[in-house]
Amino acid sequence: MTERAVFSAVLWAWMAVAAVTGALLLRVSAPYGRHLRSGWGPTLPAWLGWIVMESPSPIVMAILFALGNRRASPTAAAFLILWESHYVYRAFVFPLWMRSGAGRMPVVVAVSAIVFNVVNAWLNGRWLFDLGPDLGATWFADARFLAGLVLFAGGYAVHFLADRAIRTLRQAAGGAYVLPRGFLFERVSCPNYLGEMIEWFGFALATWSPAALAFALWTAANLVPRALSHHRWYKKQFPDYPDSRRAVLPFVL
């Protein structure tokens, strides 16, 4: 069996697992953060969990770029930069900012996220740096690349600013959970998730890659159910929670 055939089989299976995971997460909230509960085995500090589980993504992607046959390709280099710009933040900056928090995370969550990140980075890296077409410098003028780049950058800005707003509010509240106000929080409970989804659908468009599309679908499968859980939690926690707010898609969901 060629690597391309293995790649296709894994990609289709990966999308099917995303659909099943999304359906499961609608019934059972992933047990970390505010949804942490007993019965999920040993735990580790949440900030450490984030570093351990997210760092495989930037590392595997960088290795695949170095070993692939697109090292001289400007589009491959641009895709690597987009990927790393997200993951350096997610794997190292975000956990260190939350380091003062005493939160914990089940080891099983960190381990499943490591598996997810390794498979996801392998699919994306192999496609972009070897198996997929070399898009060439003319791709930079293609409408799909330009629109995808705008979405990626816009989504990045939204999730970064939402993370920062929450952190500031929480510090001001002495570490307690708060009812977020201002920015996109007036429209949805989880603007950080909205930003992240826009970012990865933008990446899929900019790279025109089936692996990146699978990742965007996975992101939605993880984050839409979690946003719905957060939304229910907010309504229970804060009786004055604004009725007009949706979970993750303004005016819709």
Residue 122: in which H helix or E strand, if any?
A: helix 107-126
Nearer to ligand NDP, 103 or 134 (CB): 103
- By CB under 6 A, tell whether 83 contacts ligand NDP: no
Q: Which DSSP category does 63 fall into?
A: H
CB of 178 closer than 8 Å to CB of 170: yes
- By CB under 6 A, tell whether 103 contacts ligand NDP: yes
- By CB under 6 A, tell whether 180 contacts ligand NDP: yes
Nearer to ligand NDP, 159 or 245 (CB): 159
Tell which one of 55, 73, 75, 192 touches ligand NDP (CB under 6 A).
192
Q: Which residue has the tokens 């996220």?
A: 113
| Cα distances (Å, whole numbers) of residue 46 to 15, 71, 73, 101, 145 | 28, 35, 38, 8, 36
Residue among 165, 162, 181, 43 at smallest CA distance from 105:
43
Q: How far is the CB of 39 from ligand NDP (least distance, A)?
A: 18
Beta bridge partners of 44: 105
What is the spatial distance between Cα 9 and Cα 25, in angstroms, rounded to a whole number? 24
Tell which one of 7, 119, 126, 196 touches ligand NDP (CB under 6 A).
196
Nearer to ligand NDP, 33 or 68 (CB): 33
- By CB under 6 A, tell whether 98 contacts ligand NDP: yes
CB of 41 closer than 8 Å to CB of 107: yes
- By CB under 6 A, tell whether 99 contacts ligand NDP: no
Q: State phi, psi for 187 to the nearest 5 degrees.
A: -105, -40
- By CB under 6 A, tell whether 222 contacts ligand NDP: yes
Q: Which stretch binds ligand NDP (CB under 6 A): 11-19, 130-138, 203-211, 218-226?
A: 218-226
Centroid of chain to Cα 19: 16
- By CB under 6 A, tell whether 53 contacts ligand NDP: no
Would you tell me which residues interact with ligand NDP (CB under 6 A)? Answer: 33-34, 46, 98, 101, 103, 159, 163, 166, 170, 177-178, 180, 192-193, 196, 218-219, 222-223, 226
